[in-house]
Homo-oligomer: A and B are copies of this chain.
C-alpha cells in the first residue's frame, strides 16, 4: 500500500502518523522526494482499510499494490486448484486443472418423473453433475418457492438412479443439515455478500459453487471466496452468471472476461452459467462455446424436459435433445483447449 502525503505536512506530523501505522503491525517505508512524500506499507496489509486511511487529514491518496485476498490469491498458490467430487457411479468428477465440469438440470425440481428423466438424459449426453433447485430465491413472495425438503429428496432419488453427483442451492445455514448427501453446495448471486452465511460455510467441508453477485466486482467475488477459505474450506468453484447493465435485451450481461481475470488473480476454478446470464435459451449454445474458448473450467446449464411448462425460468431452459447436440459441439471446443470433458 502506498500513501501519498499531502504537500505541506510537517515532518513531525508524518512521524506521528507513521508511529500510529506501525502500532497496527505493519512496517512503514518512508521516502521523501523534492515535492512529494510517499509512505509504503510493508507486510500484511489485508487488514488495513484504504477508506480509513483516506479519511486522515494528512493523506492525499492511497493506492493498494497488493490484492486484499490471500488464500484465493494465485501469487501464494501458483498451481490451478482442482476440485475432486466423489461419485456414486464408476467415475469420480473433477473441476479445474484441465478438467471440465458440466452441470445440467432444471431450474427447479418439480416432480420425480421430471427430475429423473432430465437426470438420465443429461447423463447420457455427457453431463458430469445434476443441478436442480429445491430452495429457490424468488423476487416475489407469491412466486413458486421451490419444493423445499421434498425437492431435495427427489434430487437424491435422481442421484441414486443415475449416480450423478448433485448440485443444489443453500439459502440459509440451518438448511445445511439437510444437505448431507448433496455433493456441491451452490450459493446464489443474491447471497454472495451474505457474510454470516459465508463464514459458516468456512466450517463446512463440501465443495461450494459460489456465484458472482449480479453487481459485484471481480475483487468482491474473490473476497467472498476468501471469507469461506479463511474459515478453512478451500474447495470453492467460482461462477460467472452475468452482471446488471442498462440494456434489457439479455437478462444480464455475461462478463466472459471475468474468466481470464479470475484465473490470473486466483487459482480457483471458474465456471459459467449461460442460462441465467442471458435468460434466453437460444443464446445458450453460443455463450457455452464462448465460455470454453475463454478458458472456463465448466458450465452450469438449465435443461428442462418441457420448458414451456417449467414452474420457473422456462424461457432460458434448453431441452435434453438440444443439450445432447450442444455437448457434441462442446467436446470439440474442449479438445482445442486441451481439456477433458
Q: Please provide the 8 A-B residue pairs with the shortest distance between their CB atoms, ordered closest to farther.
A: A215-B215, A31-B31, A55-B314, A29-B33, A293-B293, A55-B315, A290-B294, A36-B40
User: Closest Cβ of chain B: how far from A182's Cβ, in Å?
Assistant: 17
Indicate with 1 or 0, residue by residue over A185-220, a CB within 8 angstroms of chain B CB atoms. Answer: 000001101111101000000000000001101111
Complex alpha-carbon distance, A260 and B247, angstroms: 15
User: Closest Cβ of chain B: how far from A73's Cβ, in Å?
Assistant: 13
Interface residues of A (CB under 8 A from B): 2, 4, 27, 29-38, 40, 42, 46-47, 49, 51-52, 54-57, 60-61, 63, 65, 68-69, 137-144, 171-173, 190-191, 193-197, 199, 214-215, 217-220, 223, 226-227, 230, 243-250, 253-257, 259-261, 264, 277-279, 281-283, 286-287, 289-295, 307-308, 310-317, 332-333, 336
Contacts of A31 in B (CB 8 A): 31-33, 36-38
User: Closest Cβ of chain B: how far from A195's Cβ, in Å?
Assistant: 5
A38-B31, A40-B33, A277-B257 as given contacts; A52 in contact with B311, CB under 8 Å? yes
User: Closest Cβ of chain B: how far from A185's Cβ, in Å?
Assistant: 15
The answer to whether A314 touches B51, judged by C-beta atoms less than 8 angstroms apart, is yes
The answer to whether B246 touches A246, judged by C-beta atoms less than 8 angstroms apart, is yes
The answer to whether A286 touches B290, judged by C-beta atoms less than 8 angstroms apart, is no
Complex alpha-carbon distance, A122 and B313, angstroms: 46
Oligomer copy total: 4
Contacts of A307 in B (CB 8 A): 55
The answer to whether B290 touches A293, judged by C-beta atoms less than 8 angstroms apart, is yes
Contacts of A219 in B (CB 8 A): 249
A29-B35, A40-B36, A257-B287 as given contacts; A244 in contact with B215, CB under 8 Å? yes
Q: Which of B61, B193, B246, B336 contacts A65 (CB 8 A)?
A: B61
A194-B190, A199-B141 as given contacts; A2 in contact with B61, CB under 8 Å? yes
The answer to whether B2 touches A38, judged by C-beta atoms less than 8 angstroms apart, is yes
A51-B313, A260-B286 as given contacts; A172 in contact with B193, CB under 8 Å? no
The answer to whether B195 touches A194, judged by C-beta atoms less than 8 angstroms apart, is no
Contacts of A311 in B (CB 8 A): 52
The answer to whether A293 touches B333, judged by C-beta atoms less than 8 angstroms apart, is yes
Q: Which of B35, B55, B247, B283 contacts A310 (CB 8 A)?
A: B55
The answer to whether B289 touches A293, judged by C-beta atoms less than 8 angstroms apart, is yes
Complex alpha-carbon distance, A265 and B194, angstroms: 29
Contacts of A249 in B (CB 8 A): 217-219, 257, 261
Which B residue's beta carbon lies closest to that of A231?
B141
User: Closest Cβ of chain B: how far from A90's Cβ, in Å?
Assistant: 30
Q: Which of B61, B139, B257 contacts A283 (CB 8 A)?
A: B257
User: Closest Cβ of chain B: how far from A199's Cβ, in Å?
Assistant: 7
Complex alpha-carbon distance, A51 and B253, angstroms: 18
